[in-house]
Amino acid sequence: MSGALLNLSGVSLAFAGNTVLQNVDFQVAEGAVVSLIGPNGAGKTSLFNCITGFYKPQSGAITFDGHELLKLRPHRVTASGIARTFQNVRLFREMTVMQNVMSGMHSRTRSGAIAAILRLPSQRAEEAAIRDYCEGCLRFVGVGPEEYDRIATTLAYGHQRRVEIARALATQPKLLLLDEPAAGLNAGEKQDLIALIRRIRDERGISVLLIEHDTGLVMQVSERISVLDHGAMIAEGTAKQIQSNPKVIEAYLGQEDAEAELDF
């Protein structure tokens, strides 16, 4: 599939001889919302870490928007247009909401030490632009100005998740990777999240790839679903196709908490 925005082919990863991913082929089309599901320990987050440059797969190729990602360090991957959130919200502690979101703008701005020391007009303009853009991102995810100067980790959990998404949006990505964005959210917040994911794609034109355990949410929001089990891609298709795929059902039934996870 050459038209894909993100393309993984034959990606294999092992830690100290333990296979984590084997020969994974996977695509995300431009403008798509794609979900990656699978039992715990299937290697979903490892796949994210391979895409974002934190893990170096032993073999395979990952291309994104014409870039070969495997050679790139994580910050270069981000600069090329992939942003991510983390499974357990990882906001910068002791820093404000605004400062957290501003981190996303780093790779899109230039001012260095000398400009900052001399307070050059270009630097001040850039600082203002960073703040403006980040305010836009925060407004987009529904975090109000009264929260900008609060220490991010003191916010309610649902809002911390939103701040994390705003921070990822501030990197101006073409593809957003969300690692279990619904974990810990209540039903109402999950509905907001679904709406937010759709708006990210529709209003900002950002493709979304999410790892999620909440199958209800996955079925609602994603056009394509891929299923990872024991490091191998076992199924790919629309929600309907996945629901009726015997391999998928088997993979989930192998799990003790199968019912809890597979509530089709």
- Interface residues with another protein (CB under 8 A) are 15-16, 49, 52, 54-56, 73-75, 78-79, 83-84, 86, 90, 92-96, 98-99, 102-109, 111-113, 115-117, 119, 123, 126-127, 130, 148-149, 151, 154, 167, 171
Which lies closer to another protein via its Cβ, residue 159 or residue 167? Answer: 167
**Distance (Å, whole) CA 211 – CA 228:** 10
Neighbour tally for 219: CB within 10 Å: 18
Place of tokens 């996945």: 242
Cβ at position 69, least distance to another protein in Å: 14
Give min distance, CB of 17 to another protein, in A: 12
**Secondary structure string (H, E, C) spanning 186-220:** CHHHHHHHHHHHHHHHHHHCCEEEEECCCHHHHHH
CB of residue 108 to another protein, shortest distance in Å: 8
How far apart are CB 162 and another protein at their closest, in Å? 16
Q: Which is nearer to another protein, 108 or 198 (CB)?
A: 108
Toward another protein, which CB reaches closer, 15 or 256?
A: 15
